[in-house]
Amino acid sequence: MYVRRAKNGLVTKKCKIGYTCLVSKSCETFLFFQGDSTSACSNLHCAHKVDPHNLRGMDVLAAIYCRERRGRDLEALATKLIAVSEEAAEPWVAMGYYCYLNKKGSRAVYFAHKACMSNQRSVEALLLKGNVLLDLKKLPDAMNHFREAMLIAPYRFELHKGLIDCYIAQVGHYEIGGSQPSFSLHITCSGRDYLGVENLCYII
């Protein structure tokens, strides 16, 4: 067996049985955080195919399937993951994304909550629950989940976007009521940050 470092930040292990296992150097979702969902999806799919019992990174794969509206792949992934373990967060995140994709908000919140209970530091679980609560117009609860996730992973663009979407929805709500909420947005330029984006929005 030998280990070789790939250019894309992944570590490739060639096993004796002839399979190639894709494993991340620091986290298995490096490409996804860089904004390369296509490569991330391909690598995570390969990793799952080689080791179906591996749960690490499968919540991110579920998120990508949901974003790309790949319902059949998402359903198959969720079914396989839940058969591996009901104690980890990743299977419940996958189930939640499947319900979210099929517009079953209440069930999606339920599965996201189970994921949060399984792992209170699961960023994907908090992100999923925040997005579903946002769609259900439960803005304060959604904002709390986005903020909590930002304490764990402040580099995740989706969390900042979700929080801003909450504020925008709140503005629309207050405009209908004839008043406006008091909040401010501060946009800072961070160059080509870890996310690979030029501008990152922070709520203060």
Question: What token pair was written down for 145?
Answer: 């989940």
CATH number at residue 161: 1.25.40.10
Mean pLDDT within 89-106: 97
Helices and strands in the chain: count of H runs, count of E runs: 9, 5
Q: In sequence order, which residues have a C-beta less than 8 Å from that of residue 144 and are 6 or more positions away?
A: none
Look at residue 38 in the predicted model and tell me its pLDDT.
Answer: 74
Do the Cβ atoms of 37 and 69 come closer than 8 Å?
Answer: no
**Does 152 or 183 have the greater pLDDT score?**
152
Last residue of a domain, one of 34, 50, 66: 50
The answer to whether residues 2 and 89 belong to one domain is: no
Structural domain including 36 reads 1-50
Look at residue 173 in the predicted model and tell me its pLDDT.
Answer: 62
Look at residue 32 in the predicted model and tell me its pLDDT.
Answer: 58
What's the mean per-residue pLDDT of the chain?
77
Eight-state DSSP code of residue 197: -
Do the Cβ atoms of 106 and 137 come closer than 8 Å?
Answer: no
pLDDT at 111 over 60: yes
What distance in Å separates the CA atoms of residue 79 and residue 81, rounded to the nearest whole number?
Answer: 6
Question: For 137-162, how does the pLDDT look when each residue is reduced to its tens digit (9 = 90+)?
Answer: 999 999 999 999 999 999 888 999 99
The answer to whether residues 132 and 73 belong to one domain is: yes
The answer to whether residues 66 and 26 belong to one domain is: no
Look at residue 30 in the predicted model and tell me its pLDDT.
Answer: 52
